Structure 1
C-alpha cells in the first residue's frame, strides 16, 4: 500500500512542469509583448514553434526511456541529468540582454533559444517522471492517488509561484504597475530556477527506492532504436482504441485550455481591471481550494464512479462553467469593475474551472497507466513512457493553438503595448471577451463527445492484470 511519504515524494516532481507552464501561461507573452515591445504575432509564432519542438521531443524521450538498459533503471538517469539545465533555462528566458531590446528579430531569437532549452530539459525530466507512476503501483485506485499527488502539486505550484511573484516581485510601486517593470522579471527567473532545483531533487531522491535495474528486463525492447523503431514504438500505442479516444479528448480539452491559459492574464488585467494583488488572489485562492477539494473527494468519487465516468462529469462541469460569467458581463448584468461581487464571481468561476480540470486530468493520466497494462497484455511489451509521451505530444500540439491564437488576437483586436487597464476602448475589450469564449467552449464540447465512448473500467483492468500475473508466473 502506498504511504503518504511515497505519494508526496513522487508528487513533488509535478512542480517542475508547473513552473514551466506558469511561466508561459502567465508571464512570457505579457513580458515579451507588453514590456519588451515584441510584436504579438511574432511572439505567438516563436512560442508555437517551441511548443512544436516540445511535442516532438516527448515521444523521443519516451521511447529512449522505455528502452534504456541501466542498473539505475529507466527513469532516474534522465531525471538527474535534467535538473541543473532546467533552472538555468528560466534565468536566461527572463533576462534578455539590453542590447537585444531594440531589434525585433534578435529578441525573437533569444526567446526561441531559451524556450527550446527550457522545454527540452523539462521534457527529459517530466516524461520519465510520469512513466515512473506506472512502476510505483499497478493498483487501479492507487494509480489515481499517486498521479493525483503529482497533479495536485502541479496545479498548486502553477498558481503559487506566479501568485507569490505577483504579490512580492510585481507589486505596484510609485503608481506604476510592477507587471510592466522590466527589472522585476530576472527575479522571477531566479525564483523559477530555485523551485525547480529543490522540487526536482526531492522527487528524484525521494523515489530512489523504486529504482530497479533494467539490464536484464525481458519485457523491454532490446535493440538500440533508430528512426524506424522510434516511429514503430509510437505507432504501436495508437492501436489501442481507448488510448485513441483519450488522445482525442486531450487534444480538444488542451486546445481550449491553451486559450484560457494564454488569455487569462490579459482578461484579468484589462477586461476585469484587477490589480497585481487581485490577480495573485484570484489565481491562488480558488486553485488552492480546488486542489484541496479534489484531494478530499478523489477517493470517495473513485469508489463510486469509473474513471471514464468522472471524466464525463468533469467535462460537463467545464462546459457549464463557460456559459455564465462572461455572457453576464457582456449583457451588462454585472456591477462595475472593482466591486466585491465581480471579484467573488471570478473567484467562483476559477474554483469550478480548476476543480473540474484537475479531476479530469487525474482520470486521464490514470486511464493511460491502465492502458499500459492492456498494451503489455496484447503485445508483450512495457511502454509506459511511450504512452505518456504520446499523450504529452498531442497535449502540446493542442496547446500550440493557445499562444498562436493569443498573439493573433492581440493584433486583431488592437490591444497595444501602450494601453493600460481602464484606458482600453470598449470594442477592444469586447473582442478580448469573444476571443476568450470562442477559443474554449467548442473544445470542451468535442471532448465530451469522445469521452462518452470510453468504457475501460475496473473489472476489465483487473482481468488484464490477472492474465499478466499468470503469464509472468509461467
Structure 2
C-alpha cells in the first residue's frame, strides 16, 4: 500500500505540466490574437510548430531517462534540472517587448521561441515524472491511485490557476476588462513561474524506489520505435490521438466561447473553471476505487468517452435553436456549470485510465521482451498526444479567421452569424474525433488477470536471474 504522503508528494509534480496546459488552453491564444493583434492563423501555426518540436523531444527524453544511472535513480536528475528553466519560460512567454509586439512576424518569432523553451523544459520534467509512477508501485489498483493523485493535482491546478488569475490579475479595474490589458499578463507569467518552482521542487524530493533494470542493447530511437510493436499500445495510441484532437479543439475555443458566445464576465468564467472542476476532482478520487473494482480499465475508458459524447450534444444545440434564455439570465450560468462538471468528471476519469493502461502495457512489454521501458511508453503516448494536439490550435486559429471574429469586436457586439458559426465549428471539431476514439478502445484487450499473471512471471524470472548470477 502506497502512503498518502508518497501519493501526494508524487502528485504535486502534476502542477508543472498543469501550469503549461493552463497557459496554452486559457490565455495564449487570447493574449496573442485578441490583445496583441497577432493573426489567428499565424498564432495557431506557431503553436502547432512548437508542438511538433515538443513532440520530438518526448521520445528522446523518455528513452534517455530509461537508460540513466545515478544515485538519484533514473528520473529525478531530469526533473531537478528542468525546474528553473521551466519556470522562467512562463515569464518570457507573457512578456513580449514593445519592439516585437507591434509587428506580426517578430511577435510570431517571440511566441515560437518561448513556446519551444516552455514545452521542452516541461517535457524534461513531465516524462520522467510520469515514468516514476511505475517505480513507486506495480500493484494493479495502487498504480491507478498514484497516477490519479498526479492527475487530480494537474486538473486542480489547471483550473484553479486561471480561475485565481481571472479574479485577481485580470479583474476589471477602472472600467477596463483586465483580460484585454497586455501588461497584466506579465504577472500571470510570474504566478506560473513561482508555482512551477515550488511544486516541482516538492515532487523532486520524493525518494522513489530505484528498481533494478537490465541493460538496453538498442539505441534510444530503436527502443522508442519498439514500443509500437505492442498491439494494445497501438490501439491506446490511436484512441488517444483522436481523443486529444477533440480536447485540443475544446481548449482552444473554450475561453473564446465563454467570452463571446455566452458573454460571461471574468468572475463568472472563474466560477465555471473552478467550481465544477473542484467538485469533479473530489468525486473522481472518491469513486475511483469503486470503478476499478467493478470494471476493467478499458471498460471504464469506453464509458467515460460515451458520457463525454452525450454531454456534448445538450448545451450548444438548444441555444442555436433559441431554446435557452438570453445571456445574463441565471440559468445560462447554471447549465454551463453542469456541463463543465460532467465534462471534467469523465475527462479526468478517462485520463487516469489512459495513463494506468500505459503502465500496464509497460509490464506486458517487460514480460515479452525482458526490458523495462516505462519512459519510452509514456513518451510515445505523449508524442502521439502532442502530434494530435497540433490540430487543436491550428483548427481554433483558422476558425477565428474564417468566421471573422476579430479584436475590434468586443463581447456583446459580435454579429449573431459569427457567434453561431463559432458554436457550430466548436461542436464539429470536438465531437467527430470522440466517436472515432470510442471505437478504437475496443481494441484494448488487457485485463487485471493478464497483468497479474505477467507480473508474477517477470518476478519469477528476475529471481531466477539473481540466483543464477555470479
Q: TM-score range by the shorter chain?
A: over 0.9
Q: TM-score, normalised by structure 1?
A: 0.97
- Aligned equivalent of 2:166: 166
Whether 2:188 is the aligned partner of 1:179: answer: no
Gaps of 5+ in 2: 465-470
Q: Is the 8 A contact 2:136 2:209 kept in 1?
A: no
CA distance in 1, matches of 2:309, 2:33: 31
Q: Is the 8 A contact 2:320 2:420 kept in 1?
A: yes
CA distance in 1, matches of 2:217, 2:391: 38
Please give the per-residue CA displacement for 1:338-390, whole angstroms capped at 9, x wherever unaligned.
11111000011111111111001101100110111110111110100000000
CA distance in 2, matches of 1:391, 1:106: 33
CA distance in 1, matches of 2:358, 2:112: 31
Where 1:238 maps in the other structure, the secondary structure is: helix
Where 2:183 maps in the other structure, the secondary structure is: helix
* 1:16 CA displacement: 0.4
Which residues of 2 match residues 88-99 of structure 1 at below 5 A?
88-99=88-99
Q: Is the 8 A contact 1:72 1:211 kept in 2?
A: no
Distance 1:211 1:469, change over 3 A: closer
Please give the per-residue CA displacement for 1:267-317, whole angstroms capped at 9, x wherever unaligned.
000000000001010011111111010001001111111111100110000
CA distance in 2, matches of 1:278, 1:241: 45
Length, aligned pairs only: 464
Where 1:171 maps in the other structure, the secondary structure is: coil
* 1:218 CA displacement: 4.8
CA distance in 2, matches of 1:395, 1:438: 20
Where 2:270 maps in the other structure, the secondary structure is: helix
* 1:69 CA displacement: 1.9
Please give the per-residue CA displacement for 1:415-451, whole angstroms capped at 9, x wherever unaligned.
0111111000011101100111011111111111011
CA distance in 1, matches of 2:306, 2:442: 11
* 1:452 CA displacement: 1.9
Where 2:171 maps in the other structure, the secondary structure is: coil
CA distance in 1, matches of 2:224, 2:249: 28
* 1:11 CA displacement: 0.3
- Aligned equivalent of 2:246: 256
Where 1:200 maps in the other structure, the secondary structure is: helix
CA distance in 1, matches of 2:123, 2:102: 32
Q: TM-score, normalised by structure 2?
A: 0.97
Please give the per-residue CA displacement for 1:196-245, whole angstroms capped at 9, x wherever unaligned.
0000001000x12x153x7xx4513167xxxxx23311121011111111
- Aligned equivalent of 2:42: 42
1:406 to 371, 374, 396: 396
Whether 2:412 is the aligned partner of 1:422: answer: yes
CA distance in 2, matches of 1:151, 1:218: 27
* 1:132 CA displacement: 0.2
CA distance in 1, matches of 2:54, 2:144: 26
- Aligned equivalent of 2:467: none
CA distance in 1, matches of 2:330, 2:213: 62
CA distance in 2, matches of 1:211, 1:373: 17
Where 1:439 maps in the other structure, the secondary structure is: helix
CA distance in 2, matches of 1:242, 1:348: 34
Where 1:452 maps in the other structure, the secondary structure is: helix
1:278 to 238, 263, 268: 268
Q: Is the 8 A contact 1:43 1:108 kept in 2?
A: yes
Whether 2:438 is the aligned partner of 1:448: answer: yes
Where 1:220 maps in the other structure, the secondary structure is: coil
* 1:453 CA displacement: 2.4
* 1:100 CA displacement: 1.1
CA distance in 2, matches of 1:5, 1:129: 16
Gaps of 5+ in 1: 224-228
Runs of 4 or more consecutive aligned structure 1 residues displaced over 6 Å after TM superposition: none
Please give the per-residue CA displacement for 1:384-428, whole angstroms capped at 9, x wherever unaligned.
000000000001111111100011011000001111110000111
Please give the per-residue CA displacement for 1:73-130, whole angstroms capped at 9, x wherever unaligned.
1100000000000110000000111111111111111111000000000000000000
CA distance in 2, matches of 1:25, 1:259: 10
Where 2:9 maps in the other structure, the secondary structure is: helix
* 1:72 CA displacement: 1.6
- Aligned equivalent of 1:457: 447
- Aligned equivalent of 1:362: 352
Q: Is the 8 A contact 1:67 1:222 kept in 2?
A: no
Q: Is the 8 A contact 1:55 1:397 kept in 2?
A: yes
CA distance in 1, matches of 2:388, 2:347: 16
1:304 to 294, 306, 315: 294
Q: Is the 8 A contact 1:66 1:220 kept in 2?
A: no
CA distance in 2, matches of 1:221, 1:414: 54
- Aligned equivalent of 1:69: 69
CA distance in 1, matches of 2:442, 2:345: 20
CA distance in 1, matches of 2:55, 2:209: 27
Aligned CA-pair RMSD: 1.0
